[in-house]
Structure 1
Amino acid sequence: MANSNLGRLNDTKRVTGSVRRDDRFDTYQFRLNDRSGFNGTLGNLRGGNADLELFNRDRQRIAQSTTPGGDSISETLEAGVYFLRVKQRSGNDVSYRLSLSSDAFVLPDTIGNRQDLAKQIALSTTSTSFVDSISRSDANDYYRFDVTTPGNLSLNLNGLSANADVQVLNLNGTVVGSSANVGNASESLNLNLGTGSFFVRVFPNAPSQGTPYSLNASLTPLKLFGLTEQNNLIAFNPDNLSAVNVGSITGLAPGETLVGIDFRATTATAANGQSLNGGLYGLGSANRLYSISTATGQATALSSTPFSPGLAGTSFGFDFNPAPDRIRAVSNNDQNLRLVPDGTTAPAGTVADGNAGVAGIQPDTTLAYITGDVNAGRDPNIVATAYANNRAGGRTTQFVIDADLDVLVRQGSPGGNAASPFGGSPNGGLLTTIGALGFDFGNNAAFDISTDGNLTDTAIATSGSALYGINLSTGAARNLGTVTVNGTAVNIVGVSTRVV
């Protein structure tokens, strides 16, 4: 059995040999540096018959020819290593002449091989495929895409015949993610990205190798937004807690910070015609409501003057009630407020009157555990709140977190029914204990509930840098991991789930 390495095949090579009944195979290895048209011809057979077979580098047969008296194989091959085998078929001692030739394809390079020549692509929640190849003469393929709202990039590189890798780079050329598996195994990436322009680079693991590839990519908006104790806006996913820093909160009054954030579920429209569905809002420490840009962190005040009565306390819960489209604000000082996000029934950025029978604007009833509750008579320390059934319209139940007792609590009755003897309206401030969280929650805890199209609630909470899932039936918390930015844990004081 002859085994010969012919090296790079860039023209025509001819060899002679023989195969016998007791030595049936001669194998010739060759390499293509570019995508090429290949032709192998077996002729001048004497003493019997032989066949011709073509294999890739993994010894998988690509083609064969079994024509009596002579064989020929013509294939379009990607750059890489191949094997051509002569196999004795009949006769005792079969001599032959083998010719191998290749003609490299010169194709227009539609995918740039530098960042400044990158192919511009648009990504969406639906995966898009880009099919191309890399070779020794075209060793880099660059794609450029833009992220207009923080998103999760999912990449898969497959269909490889040789080892190829993939990188994601930012506009400065810094690698922010990469995948480099061995052999021709597929590559995959799952990255949380902030706004800006990015590049995908596909390249061979070794300069002499080439391969076709299929690049599949999708970009999905991140689900969770967090407010850090440094007053930065971050974004991440429940299953990928490596957050991106959207930016510092700007546009606040001098010395003011945000103490809570929440997405609005309503389909209301502003006076200028802009849709308010799904917008992010913030509660300022200087008694102002703000709309927040999820792309930049820019805050815009809803009113030029602070609301009154103002905030009382040091830790606050802040969440939209989707039914009346009002914001509930509660505090560790037992404060219970409803805030107005627009000017339809009251001036935007003001407090909804809790008692029309008393002159001036009155807050709702202060928080207290209902008579007969296991914690009746104890002073609540309510630091976070969220509404279930968090979709526009329909009944909703308000939940809060007591950071002293580390318990989940219901504010008002199930569904917020004012006539119910089990807490009435949340405006009445009556609290009912649901159950122990099972973890020590601090005064900086945050809380939110999202509701999907099947009306299934998913509750999450944060305390410090830890993210928890919350069971609304029992109160039990489940630690989901630590939220980080650039590998460093961050303390979160507000969290909200994007409305979809």
Structure 2
Amino acid sequence: MAVNLADLNFYRAVNPDLGGLNDPQAFQHLLNNGLNEGRVFSPYIDLNLYRAVNTDLAAAGLTSNRQLYDHLQNAGVAEGRSFSPVFNANFYRAANPDLAAAGLNNEQLLDHFRASGINEGRASAPNFSVSFYLAANPDLRAAGFNFQQALQHYVFAGMREGRTAAPGGPVAPPPPPPPPAAVAPGTTPETAGNLGILTGTRTFNDFVGNSDLNDYYRFTLDQVKDFDLVVGGMTQNANIALYIGEQKVDGSVGLGKLIGGSTRSGTEEESISRSLGAGTYFVRVFPYQSFYSNNNDTRYTLRLTATPSGIGDIAGNTPRDAFNMGVLNGTQIFTDFVGNVDLDDYYRFTLDQVQDFNLVLGGRTQDAPVQLYFGEQKVDGSFGLGQLIDGSARFGEPDSISRTLGAGTYFVRVYPRGGFSGGHTSDTKYTLRLSTGGGNTPQNSRTMELSETAISPVDNDPLINNSTFTNANESAIQTFTANGSDLTGGLGNATANLLVNESFTGGKDFTSLLATNPVETPDFSQGLALI
């Protein structure tokens, strides 16, 4: 009997680009794309650990994540193999005599732990007992963590921080990630070589020419990153193009619009450097063609590099979701991103009296205009976008708006400049500065101090570094209170949200996931794995 491994609510929550997919679409995306992209689909399953511990699988030719997933689903769980730092079927049976007396097999034990055992605080692995972990970490208890939240904190942060999670037991170090598998380009977007989530630098050597007119590569970004592409080592002329991926009805991703390219003459290196938002992208390498000569046959070296930009997604994408800074008094500064995957950033503020208002938009690598609107109160008392009252759309220099404004509610819109004649939209980071009354002291700076200083997932842990956590928590409470977030559903306060956000790389917001506890009442009766 095959066991269901996929937690689709969790999969959608940790992959915001999939939020609009229903269960069948999300499951098909996981099988067709997500697994080989290395996307997380369950806090209980670690395919890298499964690969590292069960070396006979690689010897049998099972190396891709999809192959490992299928084997674990159809055989590995039933055979009692290790696949998780927080669950071991043989240990779970031995530590819980009532389950052994009930005659539960290995697959039933996994289902029991996910549905009941975790909420009961049962010990589940030699190096992990969720009740011990919560008892041994008063900072998690103070944050209001329940057992499920504590398990997820251990998986995504506690192991990395070296926290002990069982009586007298050492922390179980996660296995090193496997080296990137060799990827061959495809001749069409549908067969593009899939690099998965692009982190750091990847290099490829291949060929284009008369017999191979197109080489396509596909990659995914899980957050805003600074992206660099270089093609060199050519003996003849070859060009490059960069496209954004476009999600289809069936959940798969195909070629979208062109967003960048390089067509230098001769054997000069081709390159693209820009900021890109989270999403899927395609690179096309192709030989130069002319009316007077055949296609140029040439080898090439392709180097792709993606490094985190150090910014989050603060602004809302619609007026309804606008970041609400409350009463603007003094100066506020925001650093964010707009582009093909984030076409509008909206901010909302209120003035309680007549004020001299100043706006400056700079720090961009591409052009992005800015607009100022009146807020319009609706029948239900909420505010939406009203009349446009000013704007600025300069080329190659900062945009600014300066004027006197009366008391009321206002919206600021930042958006990327679209290309002419259907050309691509510009991807760019930006810094937005809003001030009133000539104030020079930022009252609530949004230039990512939290992620860089207090909640960096690599260098700082506010759970164990009180000197950085106190101020960060105060800023976080301001952030989430101003944004209208409801943090009461199981987390209790902004402290818990900080603990969770620092636990995950990529700056994702897991408040909704942990607050609603999608694995608390999972439905394992649907055989999704058999679809």
TM-score, with length taken from structure 1: 0.29
* Structure (1 or 2) with the larger CA radius of gyration: 1
The TM-score with structure 2 as length reference comes to 0.28
The higher-RCO structure (CA 8 Å, 6+ apart) is: 2
Q: Normalized per residue, which structure has more helix?
A: 2
Q: Which has the higher strand share?
A: 1
